[in-house]
Amino acid sequence: MANRKLLSLSVALIGLIAPQVASADSITVANNGGAAGAGYREAYYKPFTARTGHTVVDDQFSQELAKIRSQVETGNLVWDVVSVTAINEATACDEGLLERIDWSKHLDPKDYADVGGFGQCGLPNNFVSGGLVYDSKRYGGGETPKTWADFWDVKKFPGKRGLLYRAEQTLEVALMADGVPPADVMKVLSAPGGVDRAFKKLAELKPHIKWWKSGDESMQAILTGEVVMTFAWNGRVGMANRANNRQLKIEFGAGHVSGSQMIAVMKGTKKRDLAIDFIKLASSPEPQANFARAIDYAPVNAKAYAFLTEAERATLPAGHMKLASLQSGTVYLDFWLNNGDALLQRFITFAAQ
């Protein structure tokens, strides 16, 4: 028995320390790296290797579609499985860069109803919400910000605000501050006058904004008191609280922007079946819960929440999805695919003025 346990551990470790060269018995998975990559290794790679005997070669993908295109177009595939944003999944699928798979034959669609269901090629693997974050200790027992209107109210709650230096997500938040219900944000933003309305609302707060470009920057600003509240991603909030023994709170009730990170099979991989097996494991309840523990990104499989404690669920958007502006669906994807580049340039110009 002891020898069998040692063998299982050895096999699992091989999956983590394997050289960056795939073999017939390995599968190569590309993810976002960093804390997400660590979560993949702990929650997905270890159990996959332990259960199947196949090692996992880990690689990083920074969401540059050119890297997927070059592999597929040359036929020189490095990856078998790739983690992609919803927009990249839709784009890559349309371009024939990912395998089209009917995931309803492998997984129960009802478990994914709250996150928009499956894509044409990939399926959600985890989702993260960006919301209103403040330091609960700062306000003691006094009134705290509850809405995006409060976030904009610098007389009621004096101090700098942190916002993401990006059109996407920031324009959605501005519309929520202007009274648009989260579920209607994309409908309003994509309608005539919607973009102008969002920029007008941003202009009201602009003198009080500190822009941030990374999750680390968002947390540094609020932990040091440089801002009194910020838009931030829920995974970062949970990690910051644990690492710094702080009491940052994310106010999901204000409305939040929630998007899924997708997982898909590279077009033309010779390990298609093995790739599907990996994704099925990474989509099962317990590994999903373990991933959430590693990085506080929410599970997409509804059954995973049974494996999480109440404290572990506290910084996850579960139970608040009716208050989310979802980064999925036809309206969202069409709008940002068609207007993203132009709006980014307009946003950069706006922020610099």
Whether 79 and 112 share a structural domain = yes
Question: What is the maximal distance between C-alpha atoms in the chain?
Answer: 68
Whether 245 and 336 share a structural domain = yes
Whether 107 and 233 share a structural domain = no
Query: Are the C-beta atoms of 176 and 149 separated by less than 8 Å?
Result: no
Whether 237 and 271 share a structural domain = no
Whether 192 and 110 share a structural domain = no
C-alpha 96/C-alpha 299 separation (Å) is 27
Q: Domain of 155?
A: 128-258+324-352
Going by C-alpha positions, the residue among 125, 129, 179 that lies closest to residue 152 is: 179
CATH number at residue 87: 3.40.190.10
β-bridge pairing 256-265 and 123-135: antiparallel
Query: Are the C-beta atoms of 205 and 158 separated by less than 8 Å?
Result: no
Query: Are the C-beta atoms of 86 and 333 separated by less than 8 Å?
Result: yes
Q: Which of 22-26, 135-139, 186-190, 329-333 has the highest mean predicted lDDT (pLDDT)?
A: 186-190
Mean pLDDT of 206-221: 94
Q: How many domains does the chain have?
A: 2
pLDDT of 128 above 90:
no
Mean pLDDT of 67-74: 97
Mean pLDDT of 45-61: 96
Whether 160 and 90 share a structural domain = no
Mean pLDDT of 186-192: 98
C-alpha 351/C-alpha 335 separation (Å) is 21
164 beta partners: 212
Whether 134 and 232 share a structural domain = yes
pLDDT of 204 above 60:
yes
Give the pLDDT score at 257.
95
Whether 213 and 295 share a structural domain = no
Whether 149 and 230 share a structural domain = yes
pLDDT band, residue 235 (cuts 50/70/90): confident
Whether 291 and 231 share a structural domain = no
Reported in sequence order, the residue ranges of 155-272 that DSSP labels E, i.e. its strands, are 161-164, 209-212, 229-233, 248-251, 256-265
pLDDT of 27 above 70:
yes
Coarse DSSP helix, strand, coil percentages of the chain, rounded to the nearest 5 percent: 55, 20, 30
Model-wide pTM > 0.85: no
Whether 153 and 214 share a structural domain = yes
